[in-house]
A = this chain, B = another copy of it.
């Protein structure tokens, strides 16, 4: 995958990039890096990452820990997401960022990205949208944790991750290949691993999903969405040219 093309597509999916912005983009020094599973990219309380990474492959999570050792995953980042837009203009990190799988990322110097964001309207706009969509997802997760029961939460997060993965061309429709352990799924949904297990089996028993190892297949999308109280509006996919039902990627010509 051509990195410049991905960046331009990502930043340009909300509107055309003028020549000056494209030139500025092409001139950013970026480096493609491999990141091993478990690597701490940002540490809570420390400085933000010196480089802001665009995820090319693999999965990263943002997480926080409580005083008594609990862990809450507060975001999942996949292909096309910028790691650490969350700290772009802050001097102290307020959460951890960690590679959940082996990753490939394109690194851009943080300060250079700041300057780009402020100097080029279209790039600024694109980064704004990424940040605002991420905040919107956090609000939906708040609703998920605060007001939905365990089974609904699990169905919801499966629905969301499947759609997001499809929308960036990661998995075939209705398949979820995130290699999450049930403990990690618990850290996303605020449940214990034991209870996650029971809810997964409940969804499987009812014919909504099938499982093989850690890969999940959605057998009845409408039913799963209903079980998860899932309405994808909050992902703002339509505004990015993506079909919010199927996750079909943006037509590059559009706009």
Q: Residues on A close to B: CB < 8 A? A: 45, 62, 64, 66-68, 70-72, 74-75, 86-92, 94-95, 117-119, 121, 124-125, 128-129, 131-136, 138-143, 145-148, 187, 189-190, 229, 233-234, 236, 238-239
Contacts and interface: CB of A to CB of B under 8 A. Distances in A.
B87 A229 contact: no
A91 B60 CA distance: 28
Contact of A143 (B64, B89, B136, B229): B64
Please list the 4 inter-chain residue pairs (A to B) with the smallest Cβ-Cβ separation, ordered nearest first. A146-B190, A70-B147, A145-B145, A138-B138
Nearest to A153: B146
Given A45-B233, A71-B147, A148-B70, A87 B132 contact: yes
Contact of A86 (B87, B92, B125, B132): B132
Given A88-B132, A131-B131, A74 B147 contact: no
A140 B94 contact: yes
Contacts of A187: 146
For this chain, the copies found in one complex come to 2
29 contacts: A64-B139, A70-B146, A72-B142, A72-B143, A74-B142, A74-B143, A86-B132, A86-B135, A88-B132, A89-B125, A90-B136, A90-B236, A90-B239, A92-B233, A92-B239, A94-B233, A95-B139, A95-B234, A117-B128, A118-B124, A118-B125, A119-B121, A128-B131, A134-B135, A138-B139, A138-B142, A142-B142, A145-B145, A146-B189
Contacts of A74: 139, 142-143
Contacts of A128: 88-89, 117, 128, 131
Contacts of A119: 121
B72 A146 contact: yes
Given A70-B148, A72-B146, A148-B70, A89 B129 contact: yes
A89 B229 contact: no
